[in-house]
Amino acid sequence: MVDASQAAETKRILVVEDELIIARGIQKRLESMGYRVIDIVPTGEEAVSIAAMSRPDLILMDINLQGNMDGIEAAEAIRTQVDLPVIYLTAYTDAETLGRAKITEPFGYVVKPFQDHTLQTAIEMALYKHRMESRLKRSEQWLATTLRSIGDAVVTTDVSGVITYMNPVAESLTGWSRDQTIGRSLSEVVRFLSKSADISVGEIVRRVVDAGELVDLPYDVLVQSQVGRQVPVEAKATPISGDKGAVMGLVLVFFDITKRRRAEEALQRSERLLAIKNRIASIFLTTPHEEMYGEVVETVLKVMKCRYGLFGYINEEGVLVIPSMTRDVWAECEIHEKTTMFPPEAWAGLWGRALREQKTFSGDGPFSVPEGHVSIRNFLASPIVYQQRTIGLISVANKEAGYDTDDREILEAVAVRIAPILQARLDRDRLELKRRQAEEALRQSERLLRSVFEGIPDLFSIINRDYRIVLSNWHGGYEYVAMELRDKLPHCYDAYYGNFVPCETCHTEEVFRTGRSVLSEKFNPKVGYVEVQAFPIFDEAGQVVMVTEHVRNISERKRTEAALAMEKERLAVTLRSIGDGVITADTEGKVVLLNKVAEEMTGWKQEEALGKPFDEVFTIISEKTRERCKSPVDQVLATGGSVELANHTILVAKDGTERSIADSGAPIRDRESRLVGVVLVFRDITEKKKMEEELFNARKLESIGILAGGIAHDFNNLLTAILGNISLSKLFVPAGEKVHQKLCEAEKASLRARDLTQQLLTFSRGGAPVKKIASIAGIIKDSVSFSLSGSRVTSRFVIADDLYPVEVDAGQFSQVINNLVVNAEQAMPAGGEIEISCSNVSLGAEQALPLPEGSYVLVCVKDQGEGIPEEVIDRIFDPYFTTKEKGKGLGLATVYSIVKNHDGYITVSSQQGVGTVFTIYLPATVSGVVEQAGKETETPGGSGKVLVMDDEATIRDVAGEMLDFLGYEAAFARDGTEAVALYRQAAEARQPFLAVIMDLTIPGGMGGKETIKLLRELDDNVKAIVSSGYSNDPIMADYRSFGFSGVITKPYKVAELKKILGEISG
């Protein structure tokens, strides 16, 4: 065996330890063992970075580290990036820490303090284990590569028919990806069709798994892919057997034989070739090593109809090894000292030329053979070549009709097919042999190391499974054990601790149970505190048969550690409990200490900043002038007193990050009041300032909103009187006259004013939209025309004639178009054209939009402006975000909110210098009917009493005239109290009201929301219509939930009033 110290000369180790003195001590001990320490780092983040860049042979990792990442987290991060062995060095042995550590699959766990030989043993074991695992992974990768390289579709399942593997060819033929199929039933993924037989995949699984059969599917079988494509295949299902012959699942191998079906001659040749390929692939996957070679030969002979054959490989010494010739060849051969191993000098004849020249050779006999050799009439030999290197030979002999071109192609194809699989098998076998040799060498090394324990002054003992001390040097303070007791092979708990039963926490028992070494501490009343290290002793079969204990007196060390730990804990708790950043400097202005908060805010680690000039680590500037501020350390050193930073001070971190801070500096004095340094305490007030600014903006916006809402409400009340009178006047003027035309224009302007008030309400209060089924073409054209009035920008409409209706709030949607058009206009200061297009679209799952499948109306607003920069395009819908000098960042946020409240979706795409396109998807009402405005010239219809409740006299008057024109009898109330009284009187007089029209808001009186509750107590069937200038009030959007039967928004026309009365009374 190679000496451990010699083996360690080339091993590079990374030490991760945040205590510099301990780290240096570990480095010195490692170097004394012959290892090379490539670096020492105190944080998990640095460990991950250096591990990825330097790739050390091994990492010694402390668990408790500086920074945001402890050792366990760092080990996990390293494990996900690079394959490196990690050994934990720590003083923590609690269950929680051990549990977390186990998850990262460490290669060792050494508890501080430790001995050199303990550390060296752990390192050598970790390096060996890592080498073995790496070789095993490479072997598995070879096998996986082989399966991927096979030209046939290969699918394997477990005993229940659930897919466990699928190669790329199978993915192509079935139309399923490997990730989709793993865990699915074979019958769900693979579908076979045949005219000659009923094929059940479930039956195939049963026959292969339960009966152990090899199932060949019929000649005319087709495999149907997931999308319905049918491909003729040849398929075979074979059981996968374990080491003891138990069926572990099945392997289904199939391949496309389309071309073979097209030409009969090619079909026959392919059948023989594919049969042998499938069989050989199955043999390699399922047959034990000692039977594999013979099975391959028997398969080739059966396909090629030959008498004799052989299949062999070339070992590491270059010798051709033939594990299994044809059985009857071996039996018939009478050569003296016959063998299955042929060194290069014995390579003769055609098969020898095939090996040396890497070519296929054939010939007809008779051949000259040694005495006793079987008679050879004809012969065909093909080398097995992998990556231009001969790795084996396969040959056949004595075919009745001789060998033709087809036979040659078949054997060559078999050789090519076998090559990668054989190479993977050989590599695996070689790795297995080396592993067994390495394990034996390791056991010999362990036995040698255990033999030297007698010369060590500490207590060394060997204990068996009965807790008896088989061997001990009785050193380290245990000389008190009586000689007569030592000779009786006493129990360890009796000899060392005077107990009658095993210790409650028995390290020996744990080693026997786990087979791993254990490090623990105990208290022995006669010795003091001791450190116990227990190691397993394995037998040849790898079973733990005894345990070696190394016991060291650590009483003095424990006292020292306790005092040091208490002092360190006090300091650590103090620093951790400080929520502000703390930096101390000496009288020369050099940094002495940074706490964790200071490290995070400045971007400097304690180790980096130590000894640096204070101004280099702590850079502060004025928020207003951007000039550097005076150093608080210099001010304290100059004045000897405390200082505070001025307002609006910014701390610039190492990476350029800026934070608003508040801080103070104070002198540090010794017992004699001499100035020995400066302490600076500071805190991050960035978020606090942002919150104050946002609160100010929110309050300002709320004030504006309240004002806008009030103006809109009062304006709607005025418009109700104006629009109502205009609507009435039109009914008394014949259509076509100039007065009627002017009244129509005035009515249209009033309706536009109503839309503007609606936008004010949307801005001020938001709220759910009041939707109606409408064609948005007219809304879009009116909004664009209004928005571009007097502008240098023109518009172009591309609107489908059969555009679906949409359920929208016309006022809110008009605001959407208005905001988008205004933005587009501002993006083209020199003028240009805005294109507005509308079309019907149908969305399916393939569009990958966050919308349900169905029919939508697509609205696109396209400009020719300067475009939106790529770095801000993702933020344009955020409230308060704007790129305009005087913008408030509310326009597009309002657009986004309105579209979302309409169950729609909006996207944006932009190219600087070309323009921007906003795309809106709105759910279409395909079967809906667009609500048409009633004809105001129709003869008024209707009768009955209608109660109007409104605090505005003008609104009561115009509503009364409208009702009178429509044939109704109007009564009036100024508030809810009057309305309830009138309604009660009418009911008692048996002259009830047909309907009640109520304003929501009555200043100083009872409004509609409260009144409807009282009316419903009087009459549960009351027909109440809610009316308000606040069209975005939640009651207007969901009036039925509040007890109303209908809704009409101020201002309104005669036709609208007639319609709503007809709806609730019909």
Q: pLDDT band for position 2 (50/70/90)?
A: very low
Please list the residue range(s) of the chain that carry CATH number 3.30.450.20. 151-257, 456-559, 578-690
Provide mean pLDDT across the span 815-830. 87
pLDDT at 191: 92
Side-chain-side CA neighbours of residue 298 (13 Å): 9
Could you confirm whether domain 151-257 is CATH 3.60.20.30? no
1026-1063 pLDDT per residue, tens = 988 765 567 877 888 888 988 888 888 888 888 888 88
- Give the 3-state secondary structure of residue 862: strand
- Domain spanning 287-431: CATH 3.30.450.40: yes
Average pLDDT estimate for 736-755: 70
Mean pLDDT confidence for 443-450? 72
- Cis check: omega of the bond before 343, within 30 degrees of 0: no
pLDDT at 767 over 60: no
Evaluate if residue 998 carries a pLDDT over 50. Answer: yes
Q: What percent of the chain has pLDDT over 70?
A: 86
> Which has more pLDDT, 964 or 1030?
964
| pLDDT number for residue 390 | 92
Check pLDDT > 80 for residue 748: no
| 707-716 residue pLDDT tens | 655 666 666 6
Is beta strand 675-684 parallel, antiparallel or unpaired with respect to 658-669? antiparallel
Class of the CATH domain delimited by 776-923? alpha beta
Per-residue pLDDT of 123-178, as tens digits, reads 888 888 888 888 877 776 777 677 777 778 899 999 899 999 888 999 989 999 98
Q: What is the mean pLDDT of the chain?
A: 82
| CA 215/CA 285 separation, integer angstroms | 16
Whether the per-residue pLDDT at 932 is higher than 60: the answer is no
458-462, 686-690, 736-740, 762-766 — which one is most confidently predicted on average? 458-462
Does domain 456-559 sit in CATH 3.30.450.20?
A: yes
- CATH top-level class of 12-145: alpha beta
Tell me, what amino acid is at 994? L
Which of the two residues, 280 and 400, has the higher pLDDT score? 400
pLDDT at 16: 92
Mean of the pLDDT values across residues 503-511? Answer: 85
Helix (H) or strand (E) holding 189: helix 186-189
Q: With cut-offs at 50, 70 and 90, classify the pLDDT of residue 941.
A: low
Residues in the chain: 1066
Average pLDDT over residues 292-302: 84
Q: How far is CA 751 from CA 255, 744, 832, in A?
A: 73, 10, 29
Q: Residue 676 has which token pair? A: 């020995």
User: Looking at residue 6, what is its pLDDT?
Assistant: 47
- Least confident range from 245-259, 330-344, 602-616: namely 330-344
Which residues in the chain are classed under CATH 3.30.450.40? 287-431
- Condensed to tens digits (0 to 9), the pLDDT of residues 165-201 reads 888 999 989 999 988 999 999 989 999 998 888 888 8
Q: Under DSSP, is residue 427 helix (H, G, I), strand (E, B) or coil? A: helix
Q: What is the pLDDT of residue 43?
A: 92
> Looking at the predicted structure, is the pLDDT value of residue 886 above 80?
no
Q: Are 719 and 758 in contact (CB under 8 A)?
A: no
Q: How many other C-beta atoms can be found within 10 angstroms of the C-beta atom of residue 1?
A: 12
Q: What percent of the chain has pLDDT over 90?
A: 17
Interatomic CA distance for residues 375 and 928, integer angstroms? 93
* Residue 856 clears pLDDT 90, i.e. is over it: yes
Q: Which residue has the higher pLDDT, 939 or 587?
A: 587
Q: What is the rounded CA–CA span in Å between residue 458 and residue 191? A: 72
Overall average pLDDT of the 788-813 stretch: 87
Q: How many CA atoms lie within 13 A of 626 on its CB side?
A: 0
The CATH superfamily holding the domain 578-690 is PAS domain (3.30.450.20)
Q: Which segment, 28-42, 114-128, 331-345, 658-672, is predicted with the most confidence on average?
A: 28-42
Domain with CATH 3.40.50.2300 in the chain: 12-145, 944-1065
- What pLDDT band is residue 814 in, cutting at 50, 70 and 90? confident
The superfamily (CATH) of domain 944-1065 is: Response regulator (3.40.50.2300)
CA distance 42 to 31: 19
More confident site: 1016 or 448? 1016
